[in-house]
């Protein structure tokens, strides 16, 4: 029996009939065609599917689409505004925080959650916050630098405003 | 050729924008019109006879379009092996069929029995569960050394003793034995180089379609080498004319070797797409990836190194059992042989070397090239022996290496170095990287700190690894003589558009390496144009004439060289066009910084104007064709030989056995560097995969052939909080035989790092009086604690 869900994704409202077993990640990827959110495992271990649900980093490969009914969702596609990259997106580019790019959206969404509640993290804070996200390419060194870069950017931004 | 300075600069990557905004285009992102979805029925047993397969109930399930079993493919070939290795007695290796679907028996857990195709993935999953397979479980064999024992179960009924081949290289064993007998000290190590699962974070994914009008197939594949897949699939498996297949590898989320190989699913989906007349898509689930993506390493080795009284190495003797799994994967046979045995000279002047390898079938996932491929195994063997010998002989491990290094040679003034194991090194300054590493480390201080720690009851250790690898794979004539069934050249096509913008078509494939930036830097630099004016096209067999793909750290050394050849042709033709415009002789034209100039004058014409003239040839040399568009193939003269020095400092917790990495210093010499930011990134990632092997990773089979850690919940990989920041530096010894002087950087980190970590742990234990020779990787807390307390 399909169920109707209503969700707001990147500021746009959607309403769809979905199978109860449909995972949120497949709803985003196959129904809404927002393919920036990736599936790397089936066990919430790799973090490639991390998005924000009601402002909180969530691994959506183990969340059902029906559980997202009524939720506000942000995916990697919704992170930049008016064509301006989010400081984390800029940081990953500036610091070579990505190689194949597959883990990158999840890594950025997790880091964005960290910076929301800890705007000036230490290296250790960042490593701890990202320990639920696998990267097989970078060895994490430049990812840590990317997040430090973004934190610095956000601080400058706060001073200016 | 004068340049505009783009080569050598840490240019930010041009490909990043699509990835950081969620607009990458990976195979699983693609949904084609009339898409169907495939799910496999796979063996739950490691070794079992198939008694019957009943698909009748499944075929009636909602949405099911077709189900095929091994019986439907009885007349179809299996996937081939690309490298023939012969037995010592000259017999051809045993090369049993690797069928697209098994009909007689399953030979490893995950072997495919049936494919179910339905309108949705969920419907295919439901129907796959309704397929009934009756099987009779057979005794299985997992361990390579046990598989060759008399009476061991046979993986393939027609392969006696499960031996694919045995093989030897180097000096005659009698000479090596004699030298070993004369040695003042012999260090012996019996060890396992454990099986690893590559684990690219993007699972393998394929989407194949057939157009009945043009009779043409299109296969989207998460592959490192789309042209190679097309060639193998068309010529060896399905017998389809090659021009009737287009293979596209769009963005690929990491490969590390595991996406080189031609997998059964690629050919099977392509075959199915014609049967049903609709596109068929399959994306591996993570546990399927664990069970099916070719694994790496898995050697059981005994190695002995003899030294004279002064500490000079006099002999090396190696016996290895290499586990190849249930079938020969595409390049599996060359990994423990020509990519392992040939590297056992290391950086040392060892005068007598013999290596003996037995390659064995077992009821496990096939094993093939994984980042480094054979070279990490060789480096681990040598570097563990060196540090252990130093401990046993109470020598300093750095000094022991200085005593044994091959002296510096540039390959130009001094000739290349001929090893005892078939290779000729191109250029090297091995003592240079160790000196630099010791300096960065502050070696004397670190040893002092280690002593202080020991005095305070703490276990701190320092481990070394000075490695060499063979990259830029590979000179076709040489690898052909050694059994490779392919050429290993590369193509590079440079198309100058009428407006002077440049499109470059390369047979190399980028799946994280940043070719779209590095190759563009090379082209923009050599043509004196802006980086933005160059586009790099790769991964599509309809756009790129041909390609051998990306592996073996070959893209820039081989693919970049092909591009350079085309650029040279463009400049040569451009000079003729410019000469005509400037009313001079082509011999008098110089090309620099994007301008063609008459020597000794201020008369010149820009690259863009020459490009336009080539396509609007109103005023044009009579005997010259229009257009500015050249394609070249480059076959390297030799392998390239990057090398380096990795030093780890670790602390071992006495109470728990937990290893913490305190420092990691890496000095790598990969020849000339085009983009230092990208090279450094490759080193970081490589180092961490080596650390993964040393401390965290390992495929664990039980006695029934079940892979017990086939998920990310169970297979431990390095995470952000397991690691320190790395201290890296470059030394540059250019490659003398390719136009860019580059050697390759993709695998260096992985090859160097694992032995440095393990050596550091062993050193830490010796500093506390635990004279342990070896701990089996991965060095988990439990294993280290047991080693200290046994």
Contact with chain A for residue B120, Cβ under 8 A:
no
At residue B423, the 3 state secondary structure works out as coil
On whether the CB atoms of residues B477 and B636 are closer than 8 A, the answer is no
Question: Which residues of chain A make contact with B749, given a CB cutoff of 8 A?
Answer: 139
The angle at the Cα of A19, spanning A18 to A22, to the nearest 5 degrees, equals 95
Could you give the CA distance from residue B423 to residue B159 in angstroms, rounded to a whole number?
A: 32
Clarify whether residues A58 and A22 are in a common domain: yes
Q: Does A96 touch chain B (CB under 8 A)?
A: yes
Task: Give the pLDDT score at A42.
Answer: 87
Cβ count near B769 (within 10 Å): 9
Q: Domain check: are A58 and A100 in the same one?
A: no
Query: Of the residues A13, A47, A78, which one is the last residue of a structural domain?
Result: A78
Q: Tell me if chain B has a CB within 8 Å of the CB of A70.
A: no
HSE at residue B582, side-chain half, CA atoms within 13 A, is 26
Whole-angstrom Cα distance, residue B87 to residue B166? 5
Same domain, A51 and A109: no
* Full domain range(s) for residue A63: 3-78
Same domain, A139 and A101: yes
* Euclidean distance between the first and the last CA atom of chain A, given in angstroms as a whole number: 51
User: Residue A43: its chain B contacts at CB < 8 A?
Assistant: 286, 711-713
Q: Are residues A50 and A27 in the same domain?
A: yes
What was the ipTM of the complex prediction?
0.98
Q: Do A141 and A96 sit in the same domain of this protein?
A: yes
Q: Are residues B776 and B194 in contact, defined by beta-carbon separation less than 8 angstroms?
A: yes
Q: How many CB pairs under 8 A join A and B?
A: 181
- Give a three-class secondary structure readout of B106-160: ECCCCCEEEEEEECCHHHHHHHHHCCEEEEEECCCCCCHHHHCCCCCCCCCCCCH
In angstroms, the separation between the Cα of residue B599 and the nearest Cα of chain A is 41
Query: Do B31-138+202-253+259-292 and B296-474+638-789 agree at the fold level?
Result: no
Burial label, B157 (beta-carbon count in 10 A; 0-12, 13-18, 19+): exposed
CB-based contact (8 Å) between B62 and chain A?
Answer: no
Sign of the CA dihedral running B511, B514, B520, B526:
negative
Shortest CA distance to B673 belongs to which of B1, B6, B7, B3?
B7
Instruction: State the Cα torsion B170-B172-B178-B180 to the nearest 10°.
Output: 20
Do A70 and A137 lie in a common domain?
no
- Is A92 within 8 Å of B681 (Cβ atoms)? no
Are the beta carbons of B686 and A127 separated by less than 8 Å?
no
Q: What residue ranges in B361-458 does DSSP mark as E strands?
A: 417-418, 424-425
Q: Does A140 touch chain B (CB under 8 A)?
A: yes
Query: Helices marked H in A71-122 — which ranges?
Result: 87-94, 104-117
Q: How far from chain centre, in Å, is Cα B231?
A: 20
Same domain, A7 and A50: yes
- B1 — contact with chain A (CB < 8 Å)? no
Q: A60-104: per-residue pLDDT in tens?
A: 999 999 999 999 999 999 999 888 999 999 999 999 999 999 999
Give CATH for domain B31-138+202-253+259-292: 3.90.1170.50
How many residues comprise chain A?
161
CA dihedral (B577, B581, B585, B587) in degrees, to 10, reads -40
Q: What is the pLDDT of residue B526?
A: 97
Q: CB of B86 within 8 A of CB of B483?
A: yes
For B13, the closest of A39, A93, A108 (CB atoms) is A93
**In the β-sheet with A72-74, what is the strand arrangement from edge to edge?**
A12-18, A3-9, A72-74, A50-53, A56-59
- Bridge partner residues of B495 (DSSP): B503, B629
CB burial class (10 A; 0-12, 13-18, 19+) of residue A105? buried
**Is A155 in the same domain as A112?**
yes
Task: Give dist(CA A146, CA A141) in Å, integer.
Answer: 9
Enumerate residues 6+ apart whose C-beta is below 8 A from B319.
Answer: B301, B302, B303, B355, B356
Q: Residues 6 or more apart from B394 whose CB is under 8 A from it? A: none
B13 at interface of A, judged by CB pairs closer than 8 A: yes
Task: Give per-residue pLDDT as tens, A27-65.
Answer: 999 999 999 999 999 899 999 999 999 999 999 999 999
> Of the residues A29, A60, A78, which one is the last residue of a structural domain?
A78
Cα separation of B141 and B301, whole Å? 18
Between residues 2 and 41 of chain A, which touch chain B (CB distance below 8 Å)? 19, 21, 29-30, 33-41
Question: Nearest Cβ partner of B201 from A94, A102, A124?
Answer: A102
| Alpha carbon B206 to its chain's center | 21
**For tokens 């009756």, what's the residue?**
B134
Q: Which residues of A touch B720 (CB under 8 A)?
A: 126-128, 130-131, 133, 135, 140, 143-144
CATH number at residue A112: 1.10.150.120
Q: Are residues A146 and A95 in the same domain?
A: yes
Domain boundary among A51, A78, A105: A78
Of residues B742, B757, B626, the one with CA closest to residue B695: B757
Same domain, A42 and A102: no
B303 three-class SS: strand
Sheet holding B296-307, edge to edge: B163-170, B353-360, B313-323, B296-307, B185-196
Reference A143, options A113, A100, A102, A111; nearest CA is A111
pLDDT at A161 exceeding the cut of 60: no
For residue A102, give the nearest of B254, B720, B721 by CB distance.
Answer: B254
> What is the per-residue pLDDT for B3?
63
H helix and E strand count, chain A:
5, 5
Nearest residue on chain B to A37, judged by CA atoms? Answer: B22
Inter-chain CB proximity A36 and B24 less than 8 Å: yes
Structure confidence at residue A160 (pLDDT): 63
Matching residue, tokens 């091995």? B430
Are residue A95 and residue A151 in the same domain, yes or no?
yes
How many independent structural domains does chain A possess?
2
The nearest CA of chain A is from the CA of B556 a distance in Å of 16
- Structure confidence at residue B2 (pLDDT): 47
The three-state secondary structure class of B758 is helix
Contact criterion met (CB < 8 Å) for A141 and B677: no
Collect all residues with Cβ–Cβ distance below 8 Å to B748 and sequence separation of at least 6.
B467, B469, B553, B642, B644, B668, B670, B682, B683, B686
Edge-to-edge strand ranges of the sheet holding B595-598: B589-592, B595-598, B604-606
Topology of domain B296-474+638-789, per CATH?
Aldehyde Oxidoreductase; domain 4 (3.30.365)
**Cβ-defined contact of A101 to B253 (cutoff 8 Å):** yes
Q: Which of A35, A60, A100, A128 to mutate to test the interface with B (most CBs of B within 10 A)?
A: A100
Architecture of domain B16-23+489-634: 2-Layer Sandwich (3.30)
DSSP string over B511-540: SSS-HHHHHHHHHHHHHT--GGGEEEEESB
Strand-pairing partners, residue B319, are B302, B356
Assign 3-class secondary structure to B628-651. Answer: CEEEEEECCCCCECCEEEEEEEEE
B residues 587..646 contacting A (CB < 8 A): none
Segment 18-47 of chain B within 8 Å of chain A by CB: 18-26, 28-29, 31
Q: Where are the domains of chain B?
A: 16-23+489-634, 31-138+202-253+259-292, 296-474+638-789
> What are the 10-residue block averages of pLDDT along chain B, 790 residues in total?
81 98 98 98 98 98 98 96 96 97 98 98 97 98 96 97 98 98 98 98 98 97 97 97 97 97 98 98 98 98 98 98 98 97 98 98 98 97 98 98 98 97 97 98 98 97 98 93 94 98 97 97 97 97 95 95 98 98 97 96 97 97 97 97 98 98 98 98 98 98 98 98 97 98 97 98 97 97 96
Does pLDDT of A158 surpass 90? no
- Candidates B317, B336, B325, B318; CA nearest to B293 is B325
For chain B, how many residues are written? Answer: 790
How far apart (Å, rounded) are the C-alpha atoms in residues A120 and A139?
A: 22
Q: Which residue among A39, A77, A139 sits closest to B723, beta carbon to beta carbon?
A: A139
- Angstrom distances, CA of residue B104 to CA of B99, B156, B265, B649: 10, 11, 18, 52
* CB proximity list for B296: less than 8 A, separation 6 or greater: B195, B196, B197, B198, B257, B258, B367, B368, B369, B370, B371, B373
pLDDT for B267 equals 98
Contact list in A for residue B19 (CB cut-off 8 A) is 98, 101, 104-105
Cβ count within 10 A of residue B584: 18
Phi, psi of B42 (to 5 degrees): -125, 155
């Amino acid at each position: 029996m399909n169920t109707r869900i209503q969700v707001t994704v990147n500021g746009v409202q959607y309403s769809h009939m979905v199978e109860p077993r449909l995972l949120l990640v497949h709803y985003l990827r196959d129904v809404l065609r927002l393919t920036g959110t990736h599936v790397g495992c089936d066990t919430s271990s790799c973090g490639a599917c991390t998005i924000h649900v009601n402002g909180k980093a969530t691994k959506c490969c183990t969340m059902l689409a029906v559980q997202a009914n009524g939720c506000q969702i942000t995916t990697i596609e919704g992170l930049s505004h008016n064509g301006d990259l989010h400081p984390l997106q800029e940081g990953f580019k500036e610091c070579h925080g990505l190689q194949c790019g597959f883990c990158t959206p999840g890594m950025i969404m997790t880091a964005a959650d960290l910076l929301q509640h800890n705007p000036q993290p230490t290296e250790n804070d960042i490593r701890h916050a990202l320990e639920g996200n696998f990267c097989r390419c970078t060895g994490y060194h430049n990812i840590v630098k990317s997040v430090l870069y973004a934190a610095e950017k956000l601080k400058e931004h706060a001073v200016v405003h | 050729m004068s340049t505009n300075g783009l080569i050598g600069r840490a240019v930010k990557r041009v490909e990043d924008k699509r990835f950081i905004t969620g607009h990458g285009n990976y195979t699983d992102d693609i949904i084609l019109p009339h898409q169907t979805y495939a799910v496999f029925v796979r063996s739950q047993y490691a070794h079992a006879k198939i008694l019957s397969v009943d698909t009748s109930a499944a075929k009636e399930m909602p949405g099911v379009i077709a189900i095929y079993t091994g019986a439907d493919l009885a007349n179809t070939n299996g996937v081939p092996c690309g490298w023939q290795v012969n037995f010592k007695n000259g017999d051809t290796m045993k090369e049993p069929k690797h069928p697209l679907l098994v009909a007689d028996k399953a030979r490893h857990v995950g072997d495919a029995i049936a494919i179910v195709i339905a309108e949705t993935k969920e419907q295919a999953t439901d129907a796959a569960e309704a397929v009934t397979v009756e099987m009779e479980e057979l005794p299985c064999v997992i361990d390579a050394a046990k598989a060759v024992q008399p009476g061991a179960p046979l993986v393939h009924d027609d392969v006696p003793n499960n031996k694919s081949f045995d093989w030897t290289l180097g000096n005659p064993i009698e000479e090596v034995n004699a030298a070993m007998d004369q040695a003042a000290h012999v260090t012996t190590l019996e060890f396992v180089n454990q099986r690893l699962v590559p684990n690219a974070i993007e699972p393998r994914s394929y989407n194949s379609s057939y157009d009945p009008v043009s009779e043409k197939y299109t296969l989207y594949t998460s592959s490192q080498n789309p042209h190679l897949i097309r060639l193998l699939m068309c010529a060896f498996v399905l017998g389809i004319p090659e021009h009737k297949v287009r293979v596209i590898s769009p963005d690929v989320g990491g490969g590390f070797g595991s996406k080189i190989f031609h997998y059964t699913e690629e050919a099977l989906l392509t075959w199915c797409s014609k049967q049903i007349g609709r596109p068929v898509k399959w994306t591996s689930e993570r546990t399927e990836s664990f069970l099916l993506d070719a694994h790496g390493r898995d050697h059981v080795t005994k190695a002995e190194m003899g030294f004279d009284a002064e500490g000079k190495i006099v002999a090396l003797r190696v016996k290895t059992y290499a586990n190849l799994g249930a079938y020969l994967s595409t390049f599996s046979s060359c990994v423990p042989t020509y990519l392992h045995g040939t590297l056992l000279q290391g950086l040392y002047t060892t005068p007598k070397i013999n290596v003996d390898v037995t390659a064995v079938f077992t009821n496990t996932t096939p094993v093939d090239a994984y980042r480094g491929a054979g070279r990490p195994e060789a480096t681990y063997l040598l570097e563990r022996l060196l540090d252990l010998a130093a401990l046993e002989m109470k020598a300093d491990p750095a000094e022991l290496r200085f005593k044994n290094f091959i002296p510096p040679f540039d390959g130009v003034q001094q000739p290349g170095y001929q090893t005892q194991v078939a290779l000729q090194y191109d250029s090297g300054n091995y003592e240079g990287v160790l000196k630099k590493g010791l300096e960065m480390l502050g070696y004397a201080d670190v040893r002092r700190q280690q002593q202080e720690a020991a005095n305070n009851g703490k276990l701190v250790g320092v481990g070394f690894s000075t490695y060499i690898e063979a990259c830029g794979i590979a000179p076709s004539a040489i690898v052909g003589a050694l059994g490779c069934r392919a050429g290993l050249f590369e193509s590079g096509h440079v198309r100058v558009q009428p407006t002077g913008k440049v499109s470059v078509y390369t047979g190399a494939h980028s799946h994280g390496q940043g070719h779209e930036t590095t190759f563009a830097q090379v082209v923009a630099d050599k043509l004196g144009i802006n980086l933005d004016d160059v586009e790099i096209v790769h991964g599509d067999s309809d756009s790129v004439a041909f390609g051998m793909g990306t592996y073996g750290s070959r893209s820039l050394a081989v693919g970049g060289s092909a591009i350079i050849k085309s650029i040279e042709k463009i400049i040569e033709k451009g000079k003729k066009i410019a000469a005509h415009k400037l009313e001079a002789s082509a011999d008098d034209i110089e090309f620099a910084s994007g301008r063609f100039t008459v020597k000794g004058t201020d008369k010149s014409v820009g690259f863009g104007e020459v490009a336009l003239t080539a396509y609007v040839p109103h005023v044009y040399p009579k005997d010259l064709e229009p257009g500015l568009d050249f394609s070249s193939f480059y076959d390297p003269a030799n392998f390239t030989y990057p090398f380096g020095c990795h030093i780890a400092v670790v602390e071992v917790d006495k109470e728990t056995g937990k290893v913490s990495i305190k420092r990691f210093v890496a000095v790598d010499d990969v020849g000339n560097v085009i983009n230092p930011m990208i090279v450094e990134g490759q080193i970081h990632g490589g180092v961490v995969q080596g650390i993964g092997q040393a401390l965290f990773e390992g495929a664990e089979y039980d006695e029934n052939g079940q892979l017990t850690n086939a998920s990310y919940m169970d297979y431990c990989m390095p995470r952000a909080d397991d690691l320190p920041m790395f201290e890296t530096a470059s030394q540059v010894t250019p490659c003398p035989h390719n136009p860019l002087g580059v050697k390759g950087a993709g695998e260096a980190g992985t090859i160097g790092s694992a032995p440095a970590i393990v050596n550091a742990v062993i050193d830490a234990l010796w500093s506390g009086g635990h004279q342990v020779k070896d701990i089996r990787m991965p060095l988990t807390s439990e294993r280290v604690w047991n080693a200290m307390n046994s």
